[in-house]
């Protein structure tokens, strides 16, 4: 009996300790003052995060912080072709539906990501042999099926993702080989036909500032606009692997301005900032990371055509950078325990300063 009583007491102590830690985390969140979401609303800007299905499904704290701090959600992987369509004309929308419904139930805008991309394709597509007409039918059917399912629920779509290579030419992809470069304009046309009210974006990395790739993207979307292709905006991903090597904020501002002169909206769509390749102590790298987040948010706020600032996740516990790098990396604005980092407070300060 004494052993059983001792075990029960130990169990109660563990549960009480867990409760104290849980409440401590919640109190810490409350102590940050106004949320990013409430501050962003005063600026008329969307602030968002990419969301994977599993932590949203399993972790109450994840859901709480997401709903409290952000007013926009990007589906991280759940809407990519390979995960949605395991067999031809067969779709599993269970994970994407869950994320979209969570966002809508918390009055969050949704970014659809992504309709046409060269990665994360289903095996039946990559291992199959198709004619040009069959490739066209595959892309058209996929866009009509996915965008049609979420019509009026998803307001912004990354229609085509990463079609331009680092050399400024079209990336060699299954779609370029199977259809030709016109697959891009076809995708935008089909998306517009399904949902004329949705904002349609071209999304890419490495074109945030000025340079060969940035110029190539600019000339590409300028040509689309001049030919009447229904493109509404350009997504600047802003993945930064080294906190010491980043796009010049002034050049990012110049790029946003010239895209605006084409009548295009811009959004920072996938920002994260890696630390382990930077110089200095962890505290110094965290300070540099915070400044970079703040500087890029300020660039967005200063640009009349920048409507959203979206991170690729929000907690280090679920960062893609940590999954593919051997060294420790802390690229997001909350740590693994959902504790706000200096970068969180930097974003908060920028939003307050612009009120």
Point out the residues that are catalytic.
162, 270
In degrees and rounded to multiples of 5, residue 276 shows phi and psi of: -70, -20
Contact 191, 155 (CB under 8 A): no
- SS3 state at 48: strand
Distance CA 325, CA 337 (A): 20
Those residues whose C-beta lies under 8 Å from the C-beta of residue 284, and which sit 6 or more positions away, are none
Distance CA 19, CA 14 (A): 9
CA distances from 313 to 71, 134, 301 (A): 13, 36, 20
- Nearest 5°: the CA angle 195, 156, 170 is 95
Distance CA 236, CA 267 (A): 6
User: Across-strand partners of 266?
Assistant: 234, 306
């Amino acid at each position: 009996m004494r052993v059983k009583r001792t075990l029960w007491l130990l169990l109660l102590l563990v549960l009480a300790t867990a409760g104290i830690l849980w409440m401590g985390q919640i109190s810490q969140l409350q102590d940050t003052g106004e949320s990013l979401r409430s501050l962003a609303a005063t600026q008329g800007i969307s602030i968002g995060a990419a969301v994977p299905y599993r932590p949203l499904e399993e972790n109450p704290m994840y859901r709480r912080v997401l709903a409290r701090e952000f007013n926009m959600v990007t589906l991280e992987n759940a809407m990519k072709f390979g995960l949605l369509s395991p067999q031809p004309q067969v779709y599993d929308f269970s994970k994407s539906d869950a994320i979209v419904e969570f966002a809508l139930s918390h009055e969050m805008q949704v970014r659809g990501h992504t309709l046409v991309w060269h990665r994360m394709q289903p095996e039946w597509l990559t291992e199959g042999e198709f004619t040009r007409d069959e490739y066209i039918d595959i892309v058209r059917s996929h866009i009509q099926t996915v965008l049609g399912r979420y019509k009026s629920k998803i307001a912004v779509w990354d229609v085509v993702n990463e079609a331009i290579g680092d050399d400024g030419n079209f990336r060699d992809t299954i779609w370029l080989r199977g259809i030709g470069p016109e697959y891009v304009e076809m995708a935008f046309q089909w998306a517009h036909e399904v949902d004329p009210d949705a904002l349609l974006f071209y999304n890419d990395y490495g074109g945030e500032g000025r340079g060969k790739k940035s110029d190539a993207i600019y000339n590409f979307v300028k040509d689309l606009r001049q030919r009447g292709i229904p493109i509404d905006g350009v997504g600047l991903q802003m993945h930064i692997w080294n906190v010491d090597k980043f796009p010049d904020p002034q050049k990012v501002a110049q790029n946003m301005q010239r895209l605006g002169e084409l009548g295009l909206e811009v959004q920072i769509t996938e920002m994260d900032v890696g630390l382990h390749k930077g110089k200095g102590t962890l505290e110094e790298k965290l300070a540099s990371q915070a400044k970079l987040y703040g500087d890029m948010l300020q660039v967005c706020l200063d640009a009349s055509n920048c409507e959203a600032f979206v991170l690729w996740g929000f907690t280090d516990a679920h960062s893609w950078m940590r999954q593919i790098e051997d060294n420790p990396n802390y690229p997001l604005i909350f740590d693994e325990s959902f504790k706000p980092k200096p970068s969180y407070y930097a974003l908060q300060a920028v939003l307050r300063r612009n009120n």
